[in-house]
Structure 1
Amino acid sequence: MGQKSLTSSNTLLPDYVQDWFASRQWQPHAYQLRMLDAFARGTSSLLIAPTGGGKTLSGFLPSLIDIHEAQNEGLHTLYISPLKALTNDIERNLLQPIEQMQLQVKVESRHGDTPSAKRQRQRKKPPHILLTTPESLMLMLSYTDAPKLFKHLRCVIIDEVHNFAHNKRGDFTALALARLQQLAPHHVRFGLSATVAEPEKLTRWLTHPEQSTQTIQAESST
């Protein structure tokens, strides 16, 4: 995706994405466009938006466009969920717009229930988007081939991010993020949540100190 600024409502939306929205009689939310702009600028962001308001699509849309247009192989986006069941749901939900827009994007899940043969294949030929849990991510980071696996990583999406911060599992996840920063220092991080008590504190947990950061709040949440 080019380094473009958000100068009009659909500046960052390719025709095929605009057509997809129009076919459903939808209009992109302002915060979805801001997430596209954030990715283009390399700005890590905490998105606070209500459940059912397109929050998940907001996190993935920049990656879907970038992967489809660049046509590169390798792991581009890592999605971290607190629950393995949520990764399965997200995989199903993502496949629909991917198929409808005919995007050349491959999505897979990886967690404790993933068959061994599939996990081995993912190490050799990872999907563009991998949906996982902190525990499975930490295991992948322990592999000797982790530098090769994560070297092209462009985006990390942490869903229900409020569940990770300021607890033991959050500390565990923070260690994984620090390792990812070493392996792919230029990746962007997106945190998604419907409710955040202390946005500034959570943004500090989410992002690397040297990263450009922002908090994006949905219109209905303000």
Structure 2
Amino acid sequence: EMCKLTENSSRDVQIAFANELSLICAKADINVWELIHLANKHPRVNILQPGCGVGGHCIAVDPYFITSEFPMESQIIGKAREINNYKSFWCAEQIKTAKHDFQLKHGRKPSIALMGLAFKPNIDDLRESPAKYIVQKVLQDAQDENYYIVEPNIEIHQVFKITSYQEALEKADIVAFLVAHQEFKEVSLNENQVVLDFCGVLNN
């Protein structure tokens, strides 16, 4: 059992490093995807790709079994959980900021496409999904904007109205990529659209 917890905690720590890099790069105006690509040319460096958090019922959960039992000894594991949880909050705040900036610039409320609900690409599993958390946080701040929620791997959701990615991209002023689904990597974007790419859709 400890081996399974260790595997998933290790993965969580590695993702946290990538997510922390993405936060640093956002503030420093550096393309994190290019940075990681260059750093990974070193034979002993293998940085993972950042995203909008960590989801699923294993990686996002198992580290807590270690930190709860060994709180003083598991400093890195605990901090990694904090970073990955914070990344989801940060992404939601970035979308809210883009919404407010658009309204100030154009004098109208934007239409916003929220691209993805699953906890990782190309699946229909929403358990512990950071993308779903982000959508919920953004909608809590909704003020009569039009939101298009996209998840190509499911047809119906009991809470969210699902829109096709084609319709969402056609109508959206702001496009926020939350999950790097294969379908999203093949889309064409309007040069006037504000694009927030939290998972490297446009860089892979």
| Higher normalized contact order (CA 8 Å, seq sep 6+, divided by chain length) | 1
TM-score (norm 1): 0.38
**Which is greater in Rg?**
2
